Structure 1
């Protein structure tokens, strides 16, 4: 579904602040749907008679579609103009949200979530690319991206909180109903504020590489979930073979093609690769921990959906307060300082989660979440700025698509891996698995710190 609209041409004055507001709202809405369903998952499972493996796909079906198609979304935006792609993506997202709200069974819900992800993949790279376009000065750009990161980061804790409110009072379907009017408002804001600039005709899409990447990513998540839920070896082996073949096809096509879906030339540069590694690692850990701790709160500790959402609030304030601070630090000192500091703080936060137990209070969880929020608040804006400054201006759509793809691959992998290791929250090993995952998460943040020292720029950039 696409939307035809009057063009906001060059003759109309572009107001960067209003454009930033519209893009932040759109980004927030799409990222909200990554986490808003977490608190609703037990209710969805009971209402649609689904097991944990199918509930993982309610989250990962959405995220895999986003991750698999983001690069295409960025390339299409570069080619025909980001405003057109933004409007189409919002329309698809809103229509799919309506189907989610009406889903009669888990299969329809998962299918609609995948379509939601297609819409998200079309619009997510455009939000960042438009900001880069309307804030050409690198210092202003870093500060704008800091504000963008603060608003979009708020989706992580706001999702469980809003999901808990809606699910506790009205059931799980309003979690999706709420997207419909919000999407309409964002479409209107985009029509009124975002300039309709032409794209670059030289950009093309590599269909073979794109198909290989989408199938490979979906196959990888399917393989991990299947292993975690003890599927038969024939199923696991077949999934692993398909995954390996598809990813090999994507890499081969990208290496040989004139317009690769994977920007291998950029990925060979440490100043581009390193911040994307950090972003992937951060999302993998955050969303994996969020998935298992939500199950811990409701199924182990017996908390209500609302209380579970409130327990995630310690993530909220640091994310919102420190993301723009990170943008200012990056503008003055370069991104390395903020990213490295955030990684160290996050290591401490994840280690605190090794103290969780099946009884007693949840103080350790709240403290760990608070430090994780501080770490992520410093990291998020700075890794975005690091990716942008490592990329030629005429490839902003592809580069931002790559950055968002890394994040969504991390999210999909986190839910799949952490859910597979933790297993059912009713199992005797569940608490021990959370402790193991917390230690592994601290090691992951240490890897992100090493990548930061290796490849993230340590000096500010001036035009």
Structure 2
């Protein structure tokens, strides 16, 4: 969706300013669905159990496929037959699947988890070999754009690793420690979601004014402050939920600034190939989210285990520090003209 928006919008609003506005609009539209997630999910879990959340995806995906199937295929831009790197894509999926499963299974089944970890490593090595030999690799990135695009994808992946892993852990604490029902827990997480659609367009304008990397640094710093506050209040009494909601809103504000900015930074690295940069950025974010949920769940352990709460607090406080350090890292990139392209 990012690539389509940029390709279409580049005819109307060329340059970095137009790109930032388009990404800001994308973030606002895409983020509009996020506040509905906790509420709908809470209702489904409360009424039909956790399996109901997955059944909801079936009609949603079916409806989304209809307009995609009807999209015309521009034959003039179609790549030659056989140019799709199916082997590379399959190896990437295999590596991620085996890696995430290994993390989840490690506490209960160490030997199978070890084998899966080895399989993930082998798949990654095979991917590197394949990508060097195929005519059309998954990421045919120009040499000068490799470092800035790689850094933008790294920050995007870390963003989702911290945010989605923490959100998973937060809902577990609210339901299993504070004994809130699924709907109440979902409503309490709303402050973390509401800023994202509201800040899409302002974040795009701010990226145009001060640069995508500086905006990313600002968003990371704000998110770090919010996450530190969450660490201090998440295990407190029920009467402290107002403070928790305020810190969740601060965390959401930081992520609302960061998301459009870091995507703009990625797109700026390859202005002639927006689909390449958007695909790399999106893959990095989704990979970070999958790894984050697996890591946070595995490290925290079961909610009824004696060490769950100390581990949970550490998993909020530690990433808060890492987010702040990542913000300093982005600020350093913004001051380095050899790396910064946005």
TM over 0.5: yes
1:253 maps onto 2:253 in alignment = no
* Residue number in structure 2 paired with 1:403: 281
* Residue number in structure 2 paired with 1:284: 161
The structure-2 alpha-carbon separation of the partners of 1:209 and 1:176, relative to structure 1 and needing over 3 Å to count, comes to closer
CA distance in 2, matches of 1:430, 1:351: 18
CA distance in 2, matches of 1:448, 1:275: 11
Whether the 8 Å CA contact 1:254–1:264 is kept in 2: the answer is no
SS of 2:303 mapped into structure 1: coil
Give 2:84's match in structure 1, choosing from 189, 202, 205: 205
The structure-2 alpha-carbon separation of the partners of 1:449 and 1:299, relative to structure 1 and needing over 3 Å to count, comes to same
Q: For residues 74-114 of structure 1, what are the alpha-carbon distances to aligned partners after superposition, in whole Å with 9 as ceiling and x for unaligned?
A: xxxxxxxxxxxxxxxxxxxxxxxxxxxxxxxxxxxxxxxxx
Q: For residues 99-144 of structure 1, what are the alpha-carbon distances to aligned partners after superposition, in whole Å with 9 as ceiling and x for unaligned?
A: xxxxxxxxxxxxxxxxxxxxxxxxxxxx111111110023333212
Whether the 8 Å CA contact 1:326–1:378 is kept in 2: the answer is yes
| 1:410-449 paired onto structure 2 within 5 Å | 410-449=288-327
The structure-2 alpha-carbon separation of the partners of 1:216 and 1:457, relative to structure 1 and needing over 3 Å to count, comes to farther
The structure-2 alpha-carbon separation of the partners of 1:267 and 1:305, relative to structure 1 and needing over 3 Å to count, comes to farther
CA distance in 1, matches of 2:314, 2:252: 21
* Residue number in structure 2 paired with 1:75: none
The structure-2 alpha-carbon separation of the partners of 1:183 and 1:172, relative to structure 1 and needing over 3 Å to count, comes to same
| 1:248-397 paired onto structure 2 within 5 Å | 248-263=125-140, 265=142, 269-355=146-232, 356-357=234-235, 359-360=237-238, 361-393=240-272, 395-397=273-275
* Residue number in structure 2 paired with 1:41: none
Report the Cα offset of residue 291 of structure 1.
Answer: 0.7
TM-score scaled by length of structure 2: 0.86
Q: For residues 142-191 of structure 1, what are the alpha-carbon distances to aligned partners after superposition, in whole Å with 9 as ceiling and x for unaligned?
A: 21211111222344443122111233345445534544555565556668
* Residue number in structure 1 paired with 2:25: 147
For structure 2, the residue ranges without an aligned partner over 5 or more in a row are none
SS of 1:301 mapped into structure 2: coil
Q: For residues 16-39 of structure 1, what are the alpha-carbon distances to aligned partners after superposition, in whole Å with 9 as ceiling and x for unaligned?
A: xxxxxxxxxxxxxxxxxxxxxxxx
Report the Cα offset of residue 359 of structure 1.
Answer: 3.8
| Count of aligned pairs | 332
The structure-2 alpha-carbon separation of the partners of 1:200 and 1:392, relative to structure 1 and needing over 3 Å to count, comes to farther
CA distance in 2, matches of 1:409, 1:257: 23
CA distance in 1, matches of 2:98, 2:72: 38
Report the Cα offset of residue 409 of structure 1.
Answer: 0.8
SS of 1:362 mapped into structure 2: helix
For structure 1, the residue ranges without an aligned partner over 5 or more in a row are 1-126
The structure-2 alpha-carbon separation of the partners of 1:362 and 1:266, relative to structure 1 and needing over 3 Å to count, comes to farther
1:214 maps onto 2:88 in alignment = no
1:235 maps onto 2:90 in alignment = no
1:130 maps onto 2:4 in alignment = yes
Report the Cα offset of residue 289 of structure 1.
Answer: 0.6
CA distance in 2, matches of 1:404, 1:271: 15
CA distance in 1, matches of 2:320, 2:299: 16
The structure-2 alpha-carbon separation of the partners of 1:219 and 1:266, relative to structure 1 and needing over 3 Å to count, comes to farther
CA distance in 2, matches of 1:244, 1:237: 11
SS of 2:194 mapped into structure 1: helix
